[in-house]
Each structure stands twice: as structure tokens, then as C-alpha cells.
Amino acid sequence: MVKASDDVMSSYYQKITEEKLTVHQVLTLASLVEKEGVTDSDRQKIAQVFFNRLAQAMPLQSDISVLYALDEHKEHLSDKDTQVDSPYNLYTNKGYGPGPFNNPSEKAINAVVNPDINVSDLYFLADVETGKVYFAKTYEEHLKLKKEHIDDKEK
């Protein structure tokens, strides 16, 4: 298993070093990107959103991290869920978290090592019915998209 992981990662080591990242950081972000995005393009955009948030010392606020901390699957998190006391909860903790949340695919690793640098957004959400991902630059835009694509659909 270690050799297989090293075989996959070996082509990325130079770029990881150039970007001043660690393998641990790449694998941790890739594990979030793995579950947050479906298409390669969305994964690259989501990776950049995470980098944008890290650059501003914002928490990543990944639902995947909370689900991992709760050890259960839900389509939507409650406010109470996002307050779970765990180092893996990236709503309440800043940074990358203690480590990967799953075993990411090479596509997710590639998205983190080669994010879409044209993305300046700080927020994203996915419509779980369609799989479409919506990106926003401001919290206000994000709330509008959440209302339209999540909240109003639940009623």
C-alpha cells in the first residue's frame, strides 16, 4: 500500500516542493476535494477555494470534515453538527486539520497540486440532486445560492 501511494505521488513531489506544500497537506486537502467535487474541473476550482481560504486564515468549513468527525453520513449539516468538538472539524478549527479524511484518488491529488488559479472565490456549495457546484466570492452571494439551491428545495 505504501509503495502504491509512493508510485502515485512520485510524479507530484517536485511540484509539491515548488508550491511549498507538504505531502501531508496535499493528501489532506485532496481527501476533502475527493468528496466535495465530482468533475476534474470542479475539483480544481474547489482546491483553489480552499487555498484562497487558507491564505486569508479562514477555516475551510468543509462538510466532509464534520461528517468525518461525526462518523456518519448526512446530506445536510445542522448548525449543531458544525460545532462538534473534534480536531477534524474544519468549521471550528483553522488550517488543514490533523490528516486525511479518506484515501483520495489521483484525480483529487492532481487537483490540489494543479488548482484552477483563476478562481478567486471563497465559497462553494453543491446541489446534491444535480451535482452542480456553485461558487461565490462573498458570503452574501453564498447565502443567496444556498437559499436557492438548498434551502428552498428542502421545503
pLDDT in tens, 44-80: 999 999 999 999 999 999 999 999 999 988 878 889 9
DSSP designation for 36? H
Spatial separation of the C-alpha atoms in residues 101 and 33, rounded to whole Å: 10
pLDDT at 92: 96
pLDDT at 21: 97
Q: Is the same domain home to 37 and 49?
A: yes
Mean pLDDT of 85-90: 96
pLDDT at 105: 94
Q: Is the same domain home to 58 and 86?
A: yes
Q: Is the same domain home to 63 and 9?
A: yes
pLDDT at 109: 97
Helix (H, G, I), strand (E, B) or coil at 151: helix
Q: Is the same domain home to 41 and 107?
A: yes
Mean pLDDT of 98-125: 96
Task: Find, among 110, 112, 100, 102, the residue nearest to 8 by Cα.
Answer: 110
Report the run of H or E that residue 64 belongs to, with start and end.
Answer: helix 63-70
Q: Is the pTM of this model over 0.85?
A: yes
What cell numbers appear for 152 in the block? 428552498
Q: Is the same domain home to 109 and 136?
A: no
Write out the residue range of the structural domain in which residue 139 sits.
121-155
Residues 30/108, Cβ–Cβ less than 8 Å: yes
Task: Find, among 114, 152, 149, 88, the residue nearest to 30 by Cα.
Answer: 114
Q: Is the same domain home to 7 and 58?
A: yes
